[in-house]
């Protein structure tokens, strides 16, 4: 709770925003749960917070993070402490990180590794997806074992042949098992054959700079892979979720698939909404900071993605938070410096800035308040089996609550943020609106954008069935 003695907390007079409505209401919290929401009058509480003029929203849910992940000789620069501290400062109270079972390793071993990274370290609640890189046993057995462990979503890669990619046959088998067992298949959609050809051409011509990273992974490679994913989902009846969708042609395929009635979903990320391939024209050392996959696109794609978010063709904004310091980017995957774009660790930071960046479109009048909450909080919780415990401001839910000050201003410079990285992709942006108070199960974990949490407070959340949007 707020103070060590307090058992009840009243958040008074804020505008409570759900995915469906905005209403002036008080929120009464007892211990770790929301007990009541409404006009509560002079109810007694151990502590009271005046939320007049503020928005009160459910803690945001980030379903795509890579904390403490080995990449080449380095690792993503945020671990489960620094990463969840930063998440909390920005209003995110649950993350779903990608546990990975590498080839030769059982899923249970991969999951145990990720539990080891997170246990006693997180300041907010967390869960895991499981990345499958081979089928050492029948897919039904693997999925059943993970569902039993509270892991109800699986990640499969259509690229990165060295360590991660699986065949369409494997995707199909996992989809069938997931469909039978109420799990969701998440796909990294980029067509590897296209990438392999373009990469070889670029390197053969001596093109080594970061801009060739983007040239080798064109929007068509994403759209082609999304189409394959749609065919596989059709054939298996499985629910399917495209991670980090980055381009207009891929979005168009998702839209058509959804209109045909498939349980087909897609997320995009702030980097694709705000940044463009112009970043790759910078000096190579700076351009390398923006190497991620899929790569940043030409600006018109971002316009389409915002429109897709508004219309609901895209259902989720997540971060794909995978930060590397400038030094780690410079050192490359093997250490000692990168000689071409294929040796640059891929990923950008974003776990702290997502909620405010999406809110800017609310400020501009292009996205509704309820859409903002829906895409950042409610739908991620529903799709990934966290609802109604997370993602919605309702009685009985965990008291993961953000008091959001719409008049706050915050420049998104590295010095004002808490991610363990020495640059910010958004340093030229000053956002309007920032969380003034963030609660995780009733405990203050951030205040005015500064850390107030305790490592170890965050718990693993076993998840229920994933992949269907159940009406609340
Ligand atoms: Mn990722």
The candidate with the shortest Cα–Cα distance to 157, out of 255, 71, 228, is 228
d(CA 142, CA 342): 32
Q: Which residue pairs from 34-39 have beta carbons closer than 8 angstroms and sit at least 24 positions apart in sequence?
A: 34/393, 34/394, 34/395, 34/396, 34/397, 34/398, 34/399, 34/401, 35/8, 35/395, 36/395, 37/393, 37/394, 37/395
Q: Locate all alpha helices (DSSP H) within 279-353, ordered by sequence.
A: 284-287, 299-311, 326-331
Cis check: omega of the bond before 115, within 30 degrees of 0: no
Residue 471 has pLDDT above 60, yes or no: no
Q: How far is the CA of 410 from the centre of ligand 1 (A)?
A: 27
The pLDDT mean for the chain works out to 97
Q: How far is the CA of 319 from the centre of ligand 1 (A)?
A: 8
Q: How far is the CA of 318 from the centre of ligand 1 (A)?
A: 10
Residue 5 has pLDDT above 90, yes or no: no
CA 95-113-146 angle, to 5 degrees, is 70
d(CA 222, CA 380): 22
Q: How far is the CA of 388 from the centre of ligand 1 (A)?
A: 26
Residue 120 has pLDDT above 70, yes or no: yes
**Is 320 in contact with 96 (CB distance < 8 Å)?**
no
CA distances from 404 to 3, 49, 60, 241, 271 (A): 20, 12, 11, 29, 22
- Residue 75: CB atoms within 10 A of its CB come to 16
Q: How far is the CA of 316 from the centre of ligand 1 (A)?
A: 14
Assigned token pair, 137: 């046993």
Q: Give the pLDDT score at 42.
A: 86
Tell me 295's DSSP state: P
Residue 1 has pLDDT above 80, yes or no: no
Q: How far is the CA of 268 from the centre of ligand 1 (A)?
A: 11
Residue 124 has pLDDT above 80, yes or no: yes
Percentages helix, strand, coil for the chain (3-state, rounded to 5) are 35, 25, 40
Cis check: omega of the bond before 198, within 30 degrees of 0: no
Q: How far is the CA of 66 from the centre of ligand 1 (A)?
A: 6
Residue 4 has pLDDT above 70, yes or no: no
Q: How far is the CA of 368 from the centre of ligand 1 (A)?
A: 27
d(CA 89, CA 144): 36
**Is 298 in contact with 220 (CB distance < 8 Å)?**
no
Q: 8-17 and 22-30: which strand pairing?
A: antiparallel
pLDDT digit string, tens, across residues 210-245? 999 999 999 999 999 999 999 999 999 999 999 999
The candidate with the shortest Cα–Cα distance to 79, out of 355, 309, 322, is 322
**Is 315 in contact with 383 (CB distance < 8 Å)?**
yes
d(CA 57, CA 19): 9
Positive or negative CA dihedral for 190, 194, 197, 198? negative
The candidate with the shortest Cα–Cα distance to 425, out of 243, 287, 248, is 287
CA–centroid distance for 336 within its chain: 31
Q: Locate all alpha helices (DSSP H) within 312-413, ordered by sequence.
A: 326-331, 354-363, 369-373, 379-383
Q: How far is the CA of 7 from the centre of ligand 1 (A)?
A: 38
pLDDT digit string, tens, across residues 175-215? 999 999 999 999 999 999 999 999 999 999 999 999 999 99
**Is 226 in contact with 234 (CB distance < 8 Å)?**
no
Assigned token pair, 146: 């993970």
Q: How far is the CA of 239 from the centre of ligand 1 (A)?
A: 19
Q: How far is the CA of 74 from the centre of ligand 1 (A)?
A: 16
Q: Which residue has the tokens 């990923």?
A: 347
Q: How far is the CA of 96 from the centre of ligand 1 (A)?
A: 11
Q: How far is the CA of 243 from the centre of ligand 1 (A)?
A: 7
CB within 5 A of ion ligand 1: which residues? 320
Positive or negative CA dihedral for 455, 87, 420, 445? negative
Q: What is the mean pLDDT of residues 124-146?
A: 98
**Is 100 in contact with 133 (CB distance < 8 Å)?**
yes
Q: Give the pLDDT score at 469.
A: 86
The candidate with the shortest Cα–Cα distance to 189, out of 212, 210, 166, is 166
Q: How far is the CA of 157 from the centre of ligand 1 (A)?
A: 10
The candidate with the shortest Cα–Cα distance to 117, out of 93, 97, 134, 102, is 97
Q: Which residue has the tokens 């759209």?
A: 223
Q: How far is the CA of 22 from the centre of ligand 1 (A)?
A: 33
Assigned token pair, 148: 């039993």
Q: How far is the CA of 63 from the centre of ligand 1 (A)?
A: 10
pLDDT digit string, tens, across residues 308-345? 999 999 999 999 999 999 999 999 999 999 999 999 99
Q: How far is the CA of 293 from the centre of ligand 1 (A)?
A: 8
Q: How far is the CA of 184 from the centre of ligand 1 (A)?
A: 16
Q: How far is the CA of 65 from the centre of ligand 1 (A)?
A: 7
Q: Locate all alpha helices (DSSP H) within 182-247, ordered by sequence.
A: 192-204, 211-215, 219-236
CA 268-269-273 angle, to 5 degrees, is 95
d(CA 409, CA 359): 12
Q: Give the pLDDT score at 2.
A: 47
Q: How far is the CA of 4 from the centre of ligand 1 (A)?
A: 38
**Is 400 in contact with 437 (CB distance < 8 Å)?**
no
The candidate with the shortest Cα–Cα distance to 62, out of 124, 115, 108, 111, is 124
- Residue 205: CB atoms within 10 A of its CB come to 9
Q: 33-38 and 22-30: which strand pairing?
A: antiparallel
Q: How far is the CA of 58 from the centre of ligand 1 (A)?
A: 24
pLDDT digit string, tens, across residues 346-400? 999 999 999 999 999 999 999 999 999 999 999 999 999 999 999 999 999 999 9
d(CA 383, CA 387): 8
Percent of the chain with pLDDT over 70: 98
pLDDT digit string, tens, across residues 136-168? 999 999 999 999 999 999 999 999 999 999 999
Residue 472 has pLDDT above 50, yes or no: no
């Amino acid at each position: 709770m707020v103070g060590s003695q307090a058992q009840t907390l009243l958040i008074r007079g804020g505008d409570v925003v759900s995915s469906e409505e905005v209403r002036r209401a008080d929120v009464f919290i007892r211990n770790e749960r929301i007990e009541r929401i409404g006009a509560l009058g002079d109810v007694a509480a151990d502590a009271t917070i005046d939320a007049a003029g503020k928005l009160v929203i459910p803690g945001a849910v980030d379903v795509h993070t890579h904390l403490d992940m080995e990449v080449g000789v380095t690792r993503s620069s945020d671990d489960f402490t620094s990463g969840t501290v930063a998440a909390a400062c920005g209003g995110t109270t649950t993350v779903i990180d990608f546990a990975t079972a590498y080839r030769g390793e059982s899923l249970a071993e991969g999951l145990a590794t990720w539990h080891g990274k997170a246990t006693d370290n997180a300041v907010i609640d967390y869960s895991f997806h499981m990345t499958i890189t081979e089928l050492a046993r029948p897919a039904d057995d693997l999925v059943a074992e993970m569902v039993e462990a509270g892991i109800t979503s699986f990640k499969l890669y259509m690229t990165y042949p060295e360590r991660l990619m699986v065949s369409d046959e494997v995707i199909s088998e996992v989809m069938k098992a997931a469909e039978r067992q109420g799990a969701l298949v998440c796909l990294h959609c980029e067509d590897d054959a296209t990438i392999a050809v373009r990469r070889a051409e670029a390197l053969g011509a001596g093109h080594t700079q970061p801009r060739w990273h983007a040239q080798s992974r064109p929007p068509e490679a994403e759209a082609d892979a999304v189409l394959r994913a749609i065919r596989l989902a059709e054939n298996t009846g499985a629910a399917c979720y495209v991670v980090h969708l980055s381009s207009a042609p891929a979005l168009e395929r998702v839209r058509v698939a959804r209109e045909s009635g498939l349980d087909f979903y897609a997320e995009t990320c702030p980097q694709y909404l705000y940044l463009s391939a112009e970043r790759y024209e910078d000096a190579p050392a700076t351009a390398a900071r923006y190497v991620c996959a899929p790569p940043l696109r030409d600006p018109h794609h971002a316009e389409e993605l915002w429109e897709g978010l508004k219309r609901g063709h895209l259902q989720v904004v997540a971060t794909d938070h995978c930060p590397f310091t400038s030094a780690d980017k410079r050192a490359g995957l093997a250490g000692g410096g990168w000689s071409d774009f294929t040796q640059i660790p891929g990923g950008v930071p974003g776990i702290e800035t997502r909620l405010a960046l999406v809110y800017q479109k609310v400020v501009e009048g292009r996205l509704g308040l309820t859409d903002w909450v829906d895409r950042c909080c409610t739908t991620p919780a529903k799709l990934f089996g966290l609802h109604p415990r997370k993602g919605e401001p309702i009685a009985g839910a965990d008291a993961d609550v953000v008091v959001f000050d719409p008049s706050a201003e915050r420049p998104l410079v590295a010095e004002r943020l808490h991610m363990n990285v020495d640059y910010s992709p958004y340093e030229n942006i000053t956002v309007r609106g920032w969380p003034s108070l963030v609660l995780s199960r009733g405990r203050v974990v951030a205040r005015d954008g500064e850390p107030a949490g305790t490592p170890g407070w965050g718990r693993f959340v076993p998840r229920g069935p994933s992949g269907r949007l159940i009406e609340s």
